[in-house]
Amino acid sequence: MTHSIVGIDFGSAAVRAVEIVHSGKARPTLLRCHEVALPVGAVSSGEVVEPNTVAAALKQLWSEGGFSTRRVVLGMGNQRVLARDLSVPKSSLKRIRGALALQVQNMLPVPVDEALLDFYPISETTTENGIMVNGLLIAAVKVAVLGNVRAAQLAGLTAQQVDLIPFALSRALVGRPALPATVAVIDIGAKTTTVVIVHGAVPHFVRIIPTGGDDLSQALRTGLEVDAAMAASLKREVGLATVNALAGPGAWSALPAGTDAAGIIADVIGEQLVSLRNTLNYYANTRPKDAVSQIILTGGGAQLLGLSRALAEMTGIGVVAGDPFASVVVPVGLDPAALPGGAARYTVALGLALGSAS
């Protein structure tokens, strides 16, 4: 049965939406995508702060984008969302989910009645106590989720489900059989960096790091005493450009520290790269037989010149750019590469829409 759905990504600077149609074929078809700018502060780290403002932006988005349905999927994925390994005795998924509140209350940073809980099964193991189901515990602060749902409702939209953004990323970027068995998807957003490690197209590990592209912007503004527009220009034009002119391993990290743009960028990005390397090393140490063979890099912060090379050098793992629209049929006349800001801006929204068929 043919039906369309829209995935909505609440970004710090814009709200983006992607509509696809599921027709029972191997790949869904992309229908349309669009974005509308948001005022500063309306959304913070993917969480709606001003529901009425965001609702107005959603109405504008539907009017300009020509979306044909009001059925939507929303995403959550910031520091108020927790994803942790959890093993439970084998049972039906309904019973496992029903018992989560009693089993995980000591693992949560908030009271259990203030959280929305879910369990994502991954594998089974046999122990002396019986068969255990290994998976990911997903916990989100309830008020944060309901705020996003409220904004959609005010715009006259119907939220079919709320999905985890790391799952949406993996769905959009790791659905193709040609990819290596185990890959790490790294999405560098404005406020957060998401790492999701996928084995056999199934997410096995999720970490949300509270740093992103805005940290670099703020460091440039403070260090050089420039405005936001100039900081953005420096990020775009300077980046880690000096890396490309230096020879030999470790060149990027040898950039001088100081108050010049190149030095500030090297300092901030260096710290972020160390955090990413430590995250990947933690995964490798806990799952030594499941080595990550490739990194898929996406997100607005991933556009920084020289970053891909620096990440590959820091981790010793090959890095490729994510191509979200490879997972859908793109109609003639719609060129994702020509979209304002590039196709990568729509990765989360697309992945959310794709989840409605799973």
**What's the mean per-residue pLDDT of the chain?**
87
**CA distance linking residue 350 with residue 300, whole number of Å:** 15
Strands 130-141 and 115-127, by their bridges, are antiparallel
Lowest mean pLDDT among 1-10, 53-62, 210-219: 1-10
CATH of 177-323 among 3.30.420.40, 3.40.50.720, 3.40.1190.20, 3.30.1480.10: 3.30.420.40
- Per-residue pLDDT averaged across 239-253, rounded? 51
More confident: 243 or 340: 340
Query: Has residue 246 got a pLDDT over 50?
Result: no
| Mean local confidence (pLDDT), 143-172 | 94
Domain residue spans of the chain = 81-141, 177-323
Predicted confidence at residue 200, as pLDDT, reads 80
Q: Are 137 and 104 in contact (CB under 8 A)?
A: yes
Please state, for a pLDDT cut of 90, what percent of the chain lies above it. Answer: 55
Query: What pLDDT score was predicted for residue 131?
Result: 93
pLDDT at 27: 82
Looking at residue 111, its pLDDT comes to: 87
Largest Cα span, the chain: 63
The pLDDT value recorded for residue 241 is 58
pLDDT range class, residue 119, cuts 50, 70, 90: very high
Instruction: Kindly report which listed range (79-88, 152-161, 273-282) carries the lowest average pLDDT score.
Output: 79-88
- Percentage of the chain beyond pLDDT 70 is 91
**What is the rounded distance in angstroms from the CA atom of residue 145 to the CA atom of residue 141?**
7
Q: Which residue has the higher pLDDT, 2 or 213?
A: 213
- First-to-last alpha carbon distance for the chain, in angstroms, is 14
Taking the C-alpha atoms of residue 142 and residue 308, their distance in angstroms, rounded to an integer, is 36
Instruction: Give the mean pLDDT of 149-153.
Output: 96
Mean of pLDDT values over 74-100:
90
Beta bridge partners of 310: none
pLDDT above 50 (res 247): no
Q: What is the mean pLDDT of residues 84-99?
A: 91
Residue-level pLDDT at 179: 59
pLDDT tops 70 at residue 253: no
Number of neighbouring beta carbons within 10 Å of residue 235: 19
Is residue 22's pLDDT more than 90? no
Whether 81-141 shares its CATH topology with 177-323 is answered no
pLDDT at 235 over 60: yes
pTM: 0.88
Position 312 pLDDT exceeds 60 = yes
Q: Taking residues 49-76, what's their average pLDDT?
A: 96
Please name the fold of domain 81-141.
Answer: Dna Ligase; domain 1 (3.30.1490)
336 pLDDT above the threshold of 80: no
User: Can you give the pLDDT at residue 342?
Assistant: 78
